[in-house]
Amino acid sequence: MLVEEACGTALFGILAEGLADRFEPALCDTYARLFAQAVAHVTPGVEPAILVDHYQRVRRPRPVSRPPRRIVVLSRVTLGADVNITSVLMAAAKRRFPRAEIFFAGPHKNFELFAADRRLRHAPLSYAKGGLRERLAVWGELKALVEADDCLVVDPDSRLTQLGLLPVGSEDRYHLFESRAYGAESDHALSALAAAWAAETFGVAGAKPYVALSRTPRHAPYCAVSLGVGENSGKRLADPFEENLLAAADLHERGIGLCIDQGAGGEEAARAARAVERSGVKATLWEGSFAGFAGIIAGSRLYIGYDSAGQHVAAACGVPLISIFSGYCVSRFFHRWRPMGERCEVIRVEGHDVSSVLDQVRAAIGRLV
């Protein structure tokens, strides 16, 4: 059965993400019914119908009813989503409630992207990426964090609550941005939808993604590059694309160096090093935290990468970027996750014409640099 610990990859990577990535409202109902059964199967005393009923109530956007003393904003767990979506909701909450105590609840590596924001405090929560029981372990800790009557919970469709399915805090003080269904008839990007939801919920218009890094970036003539794909191999183009990409950029001729992220190490670091070696270009390889690389992106002249967290940092910092967007399951996924900004060049990969992608990269560099 998929609820067994050994099947965690299939349950979440195939079923949950497969339903969510299509951004189809009807599949939100399917997800709720299926996962309510799964949660109840491994959690004594939980009734599936109660979870589904709770979800159907809280998924409806509504204005905040009364000012909170404390606001807990839940992490989306993935870095790019916290920049692209969660930060929008935090920005709106800060403006609407300037005297409230605001907590970012989630992993430390995610909070590092906002560590210099003096309005934010960190409520450390870890989310194990194993089987269902392991992932539900955070539920009790989260309920204890938000149990106060004057605590407002802002949920950006977080995996901490299994996309709003797990009840936490007082229901009338809990607000879910159901990113999979909100604005369903549009092709707006998630950052724009989050801003629209924030306006509806907090009465604050124009909230945008941001980062607040503890190190002030040093601006210099270099291009930040990420070849990471967040463990989704479908997002990358087949070899020898990456080495050809580094060689095709011709940035050295423009007096611009390359700084390439090695990610979390392992296969990703090996790919980055191999691409540099085979391309023959000179480059600096970054080995460190993602927050550290985010500082490099923020100080760069240009960012180039696949659809991943780096593109959202670049967009939030106003850095010109080239996003190579491939491997999406439906067209709406592309529209939802594309970075937004005046100098965002998004290359939508159709088919396998790598030479065309390289031509588009060169043209985009000519416009941005």
Tens of pLDDT, residue by residue over 288-302, are 999 999 999 999 999
Residues 94 and 23 occupy one common structural domain = yes
pLDDT at 352: 65
Q: Is residue 194 a part of any domain in this protein?
A: yes
Q: Is residue 274 a part of any domain in this protein?
A: yes
Residues 191 and 253 occupy one common structural domain = no
Number of C-beta neighbours around residue 267 at 10 A: 11
What sign does the dihedral 332-335-336-338 (CA atoms) show? positive
Query: Is residue 3's pLDDT more than 70?
Result: no
SS (H, E, C) 306-350: ECCHHHHHHHHHCCCEEEEECCCCCHHHHHHHCCCCCCEEEEECC
Residues 69 and 100 occupy one common structural domain = yes
pLDDT band at 334 (very low <50, low <70, confident <90, very high): very high
pLDDT band at 215 (very low <50, low <70, confident <90, very high): confident
Which run of H or of E encompasses 48? helix 48-58
Q: What is the mean pLDDT of residues 105-131?
A: 96
Q: What is the mean pLDDT of residues 324-342?
A: 95
Residues 160 and 278 occupy one common structural domain = no
Residues 177 and 304 occupy one common structural domain = no
Query: Is residue 185's pLDDT more than 80?
Result: yes
Quote the CA–CA distance of 305 and 225 in Å, as a whole number.
Answer: 6
pLDDT band at 129 (very low <50, low <70, confident <90, very high): confident
The answer to whether residues 204 and 96 touch, using CB atoms and an 8 Å cutoff, is yes
Cα atoms in the 13 Å half-sphere on the side-chain side of 81: 16
Which of residues 151, 181, 212 is at a domain's end? 212
Query: Is residue 45's pLDDT more than 90?
Result: yes
Q: What is the mean pLDDT of residues 206-213?
A: 98
Which of residues 212, 238, 273 is at a domain's end? 212
Contact residues for 289 (Cβ-Cβ < 8 A; gap 6+): 109, 112
Residues 153 and 254 occupy one common structural domain = no
Q: What percent of the chain has pLDDT over 90?
A: 86
Which domain CATH number covers 358? 3.40.50.2000
Query: Is residue 196's pLDDT more than 90?
Result: yes
Q: Is residue 331 a part of any domain in this protein?
A: yes
What sign does the dihedral 200-204-208-210 (CA atoms) show? negative
Interval 352-366: pLDDT, tens: 678 899 999 999 999
Residues 311 and 201 occupy one common structural domain = no
Interval 225-268: pLDDT, tens: 999 998 888 899 999 999 999 998 778 788 899 999 998 888 99
Residues 174 and 265 occupy one common structural domain = no
Residues 66 and 203 occupy one common structural domain = yes
Quote the CA–CA distance of 99 and 191 in Å, as a whole number.
Answer: 25
Q: Is residue 124 a part of any domain in this protein?
A: yes
Query: Is residue 6's pLDDT more than 70?
Result: no
Q: Is residue 291 a part of any domain in this protein?
A: yes
Residues 253 and 187 occupy one common structural domain = no
**3-state SS assignment for residue 304:** strand
pLDDT at 248: 81
Q: Quick one: which of 313, 318, 301, 305 has its CA closest to 347? A: 305
Query: Is residue 65's pLDDT more than 60?
Result: yes
Share the mean pLDDT of the chain: 94
pLDDT band at 2 (very low <50, low <70, confident <90, very high): low
Quote the CA–CA distance of 187 and 192 in Å, as a whole number.
Answer: 10
Residues 126 and 237 occupy one common structural domain = no
Q: Is residue 217 a part of any domain in this protein?
A: no
The answer to whether residues 193 and 81 touch, using CB atoms and an 8 Å cutoff, is no
pLDDT at 4: 58
| Count, residues in the chain | 369
Q: Is residue 87 a part of any domain in this protein?
A: yes
Tell me the whole-structure pTM to 2 decimals.
0.96
pLDDT at 98: 97
Name which of 125-129, 142-146, 335-339 the model is least confident about: 125-129
pLDDT at 254: 85
> What distances in angstroms separate CA 31 from CA 52, 70, 97, 333, 341, one per listed residue?
10, 30, 33, 17, 32
Which of residues 158, 182, 212 is at a domain's end? 212
Domain span at residue 73 reads 1-212
**3-state SS assignment for residue 151:** strand
Per-residue burial over 223-249, b if 16 or more Cβ lie within 10 Å, else e, is bbbbbbbeeeeebbbeeebbbbbbbbb
Q: Is residue 93 a part of any domain in this protein?
A: yes
pLDDT band at 216 (very low <50, low <70, confident <90, very high): confident
Quote the CA–CA distance of 278 and 302 in Å, as a whole number.
Answer: 22
Quote the CA–CA distance of 134 and 18 in Å, as a whole number.
Answer: 21
Residues 296 and 170 occupy one common structural domain = no
Q: Domains in the chain: how many in total? A: 2
